[in-house]
Amino acid sequence: MKMFIVVAAIAVMLVAVHAAAEKKTGEAKQEDLEETITHLLEYVRTADVVFIRNGKEHSAENATKHIEKKYNHYKKKIETPEDFIERSATKSMMSGKLYQIRLKDGTIITSKDWLLAELERYRNSPIEAVTDTGSVAPPDTTEKGEECPPDSLEQ
């Protein structure tokens, strides 16, 4: 009987640890999702392109506001960055017309393809460190085994 109680207690602890780990993993995924969506929204906001929605041209700022509004509406249904792009930045829910992007060279592509390409680039880019001033520090380019230059060492 004593052994049964010990085994049962261990089982309960393992279930609790597993549940806590699952919750933490879910929170980490949500944080990554929010970070990625924030990046995509900033990419839209700072883009030097023309957004075409229902046949009308819009500025990057106007497009960002529209996409954010749709994102907030569909937020509970968005589990991946691809969901965000599909639900918030692909087409008009009223007319069904695809959103388009006119690039600097005049090429017109769908906003979905444009954002999926940026998502791919973002996922494959090296992690950049943010400095104390908020600017992005260049990635470390030292070779394995190579020492950092003396002026980069903390004093």
* pLDDT for res 15: 62
**What value does the mean pLDDT take over residues 62-69?**
98
pLDDT value, residue 5: 75
- pLDDT, tens digit, 9 for 90 and up, residues 5-54: 766 667 666 666 555 555 444 444 555 999 999 999 999 999 999 999 99
Q: Are 57 and 51 in contact (CB under 8 A)?
A: yes
Task: Classify residue 3: in a domain, yes or no.
Answer: no
- Give a yes or no: residue 111 inside a domain: yes
Q: Quick one: tokens of 129?
A: 């460190």
Residue 113 lies in a domain: yes
Q: Is residue 89 part of a domain?
A: yes
Q: Are 40 and 119 in contact (CB under 8 A)?
A: yes
Q: How confident is the model at residue 126 (pLDDT cuts 50, 70, 90)?
A: confident
Report the alpha-carbon distance of residue 90 to residue 110 in Å, rounded: 7
CA dihedral 121, 63, 38, 137 (to 10 degrees): 60
Higher-confidence position of 123 and 16: 123
CA distances from 70 to 23, 29, 63, 105, 140 (A): 27, 21, 11, 29, 38
Residue 134 lies in a domain: no
The verdict on residue 82 lying in a domain is yes
Task: Please check whether residue 5 lies inside any domain of the structure.
Answer: no
Whole-number pLDDT of residue 125: 86
Give yes or no for residue 144 having a pLDDT over 60: no
According to DSSP, the β-strands at 136-137 and 50-53 are unpaired
Residue 82, domain extent? 17-124
- Give the residue among 139, 137, 135 at the shortest CA–CA distance from 126: 139
The burial of 144, by beta-carbon neighbours within 10 Å (0-12 exposed, 13-18 middle, 19 or more buried), is given as exposed
Query: pTM (2 decimals)?
Result: 0.64
- Examine residue 85 and state whether it is found in any structural domain, yes or no: yes
The alpha-carbon radius of gyration of the chain (Å, integer) is: 23
- In the chain, the number of structural domains is 1
Is residue 109 predicted with pLDDT exceeding 90?
Answer: yes
**What is the arithmetic mean of pLDDT over 91-101?**
96
